[in-house]
Amino acid sequence: MDEFMQEAINQARKSLSEGGIPIGSSLVKNGELVASGHNKRVQENNPILHGEMDCLNNAGRVGSFRNTVIYSTLMPCYMCAGTIVQFKIPKVIVGESRTFLGAREFMEQHGVEVIDLDLPECVDMMNQFIAEKPTLWNEDIGEL
């Protein structure tokens, strides 16, 4: 497995171990890891601190994002996809989209290349979390 997706998965597992939602992300620029992060909505009581948002926040000011790739264990939602489009991140590599379809079409319509790896490890992690904490999951995706 790609080391950057593995980092995103490690971040998702970290979030889960902290009582949060198991979604992780990593940002790569010129083939090097710039930052990683995970969903901290629960841990920091912050409704917009999704995995991708935490990762980008941790990256800080990197100048142009045009030669970056963002990895996420789950297909980004519209909020995160909007940020990806706004920052002109050209490529998103996703662990899975079976448990959440997200905003793939939106990103692609704005020129973002989206690669869905459909990794069983990511699918299993989300399926287990959703089964164990459906209310928390529905809150995260705005379905409560």
Residues belonging to the active site: 52
Kindly tell me the sign of the dihedral angle through the C-alpha atoms of 88, 139, 15, 115: negative
Instruction: Return d(Cα 139, Cα 2) in angstroms, integer.
Output: 31
Burial class (CB in 10 A: 0-12, 13-18, 19+), 104: middle
